[in-house]
Amino acid sequence: MLMGIFGAILPRFALLVGWVNDPNAWTSLFGAPVWFLFGFLFFPWTTLIYGFVAQNGMTPINWIFVAGALLIDLGTWGIGAFATREQVSNYRAT
Q: What is the DSSP string of 29-60?
A: HHSSHHHHHHHHHH-HHHHHHHHHHGGG---H
**pLDDT, averaged in runs of 10, over the chain (94 residues):** 75 91 88 87 92 90 94 77 60 54
pTM of the complete model = 0.77
Q: What is the DSSP letter of 22?
A: -
Q: What is the pLDDT of residue 76?
A: 78
List all residues 6 or more positions away from 25 whose beta carbon is below 8 Å from its beta carbon.
Answer: none
Report CA 47 to chain centroid distance, whole Å: 5
